[in-house]
Amino acid sequence: MNAIIFDLELNKTFRKGQSTSIVEIGAVKVNLDDMKVLDTFQVYVMPHIGIRNATIKMIKMSETDIKNAVTPNSALCKFIDWIGEDYFLCCWGNSDKLFLINECSNEDISLKWLKNYNDIQPGISNVLVNRDQMKLKDAINQSNIEVQGNFHSGLYDAIHTAMLMIKHIDIVRLDFNSAEFNYSIRCPLYKRCKNCSNEKYYTQFQIIKENKRGSTCTECVSSLLSIN
């Protein structure tokens, strides 16, 4: 069984409620039997709205990186194919899971692969600083791990997280969980329509005013309007 340790870099946003998107996926594949690195993965993503200059500067994208960036759909499909069959998905925090759900839903990509997701930050942070959260950079420094590349790089942040996991594997707990557990009603990106009672992704609800969505899905609103 392998551990897939991944990190996402996102388009910078400047206003509350402004949508964001993935611009880089970096990952490391580790064999859990001997804790050896098997492979690495990196892909740059060209969002439908383009990449903001502040993002390019932050993650240090070159002109070649920008030129080679692929569509969100292509990037996600490449990543899912690279992951393989038997794995734990590991990340430093829980927010990246929500961005994956968001992108897959926008691109009509099945979420059945989003299983065995584990946030390894709390366990390691509790040992290092006696709290559930700490910056990845601080965890690397306190663990006396040599820094590679740049922080705010999806690939190098994934490498750093993998190095933390390998060093602290004795305290890292990896749980099995289903894809449904990770994208079900427990996730705030899903709502239940008050009319049809079906649980749907939030973009399937009509916007009633700026950045606000109603509790009736768009399909039901259309049906009610056609009846009237």
**88 has pLDDT over 80:** yes
Its pTM stands at 0.81
H/E run at residue 81: helix 72-83
* Angle separating helix axes 95-106 and 72-83, nearest 10 degrees: 120
Give the DSSP letter string of 113-129.
T--SEEE-HHHHHHHHH
In angstroms, the Cα distances linking 77 to 55, 66, 100, 110 are: 23, 19, 12, 10
Spatial CA neighbour of 163 closest among 146, 175, 151, 142: 146
| pLDDT given for residue 191 in this prediction | 74
CA distance 142 to 137: 9
> 175-214: per-residue pLDDT in tens?
999 998 888 744 556 678 888 988 777 778 877 765 567 8
Burial of 8 (0-12, 13-18, 19+ CB in 10 A): buried
CA distance 103 to 117: 17
> 141-163: per-residue pLDDT in tens?
999 999 998 888 999 999 999 99
| pLDDT given for residue 85 in this prediction | 93
What are the structural domains, with CATH classification, of the chain? Answer: 2-183 (3.30.420.10), 190-227 (no CATH)
